[in-house]
Amino acid sequence: MLTLKLLQENKTEVIERLRIKNFDATALVDRIIELDNKRKATQTESDNLQAEMNRLSKSIGQLMKNKELAEAEAAKARTAGLKDEIKELTTTLDSIEKELQQLLVQLPNLPHQSVPAGKGAEDNVIVREGGKKPELKDALPHWELARKYDIIDFELGVKLTGAGFPVYKGKGARLQRALISFFLNEAEAAGYLEVQPPLMVNEDSGYGTGQLPDKEGQMYHVGLDNLYLIPTAEVPVTNIYRDVILNGDQFPIKNCAYSACFRREAGSYGKDVRGLNRLHQFDKVEIVQVARPDDSYKVLEEMVKHVQGLVDKLELPWRIVKLCGGDMSFTSALTYDFEVFSAAQERWLEVSSVSNFESFQANRLKLRYREDSNSKPQLAHTLNGSALALPRIVAALLENNQTEDGIRIPKVLVPYCGFDIIK
């Protein structure tokens, strides 16, 4: 959430930078500033009346002592009137603050100065590439390989739940487990503390990281209990630090978590969502960091290098793209996507997003830090990244490593899988 101070002092810059995200904030920012000014004026009026009432209340005793009864009664009457006025102003102030909060959560985060303009994925900028694309003849897509080797059953998932909920079997299930363990071990080696979060969160957690109200329609809602199935472990892990004031000596704060993730993906259809390309339930290892503002972009680069190391070790051809304004999330200030090449589908598949949210989430979370006991608390920066999401990684591994003898397992995964080929 953007701060009122930022909007008041940098109105024109905020509006212009949000245009990079193709968001016209003019009317919204004007209304927010109008309400903030009204809030301040109302608060000042209430404070002044409260001060007058306090002064009169103190004077009544002295007036009674001096037997100035008429003046004392007048002061009592004025005090009663002031109470009513203050009560009315408090009601007005509550209404203003409620509307102000409702409007503030509708403003996206400001994009970083380096974010390119653009409307969609076609305007993203390739930063760098690595790995070697395999040269395959008559390559089968992963959904056919899954059926051929009986490792993923999409039809059974439809029977049990519906489309987008596959069932992993035999070596397919072991490959999933191997990838999760590999990603978690790599994160631990990089200094991330593993946590195992709940798979459901409350409204406060959804608002804290910005999924609510922006992505409400994309989340599975448990209506009876008013809980939400998590779309990513980012939500519960980052919310660990909601309403927390950290000490400077606690940095770096690095967490990782494995979780199932749930996304409705309303409106998704067509060839690009076939097989594992887009699911309603999938597994992912997430990395989360809380950083000082001055350090957060160095931290972002560190996280990008961590993900790059994972795809390198999996022997997958990859590329990193910087998202343009029109393809960025509501909450992000700067996002790098990782894509791996799918040999059979002959296209790039997104497998990770690594983002810096600057103070946007922290302001919602009331996540602050102070360097020492004499320092004033200030907003921290939050970052996260997929390290990694499994479905498209599995798709690329199956497709790129298919041979006449079976599907070869990358060397780094063999100790985790217990086999080197799927036959």
Binding site members for L-serine: 232, 263, 286, 384
Inter-axis angle of helices 296-313 and 171-189, nearest 10: 140
SS3 383: strand
CA end-to-end distance (rounded Å), the chain: 51
**Measured between alpha carbons, how far is 366 from 368 in angstroms, rounded to an integer?**
6
CA triple 404-407-410, angle to 5 deg: 130
For 41, other C-beta atoms within 10 Å of its C-beta total: 11
H or E element: which one contains 157? Answer: helix 154-160
Cis peptide before 415 (omega within 30 of 0): no
Cite the annotated binding site by residue number.
232, 263-265, 286, 350-353, 384
CB under 8 Å, gap of 24 or more: what pairs does 229-232 form?
Answer: 229/199, 229/200, 229/262, 230/197, 230/198, 230/199, 230/200, 230/201, 230/259, 230/261, 230/262, 231/261, 231/262, 231/263, 232/259, 232/261, 232/284, 232/286, 232/384, 232/386
Q: ∠ CA(171), CA(348), CA(328), 5° rounding?
A: 115
3-class DSSP state of 391: helix
Q: Three-state DSSP class for 21?
A: coil
Neighbours of 255 (CB within 10 A): 22
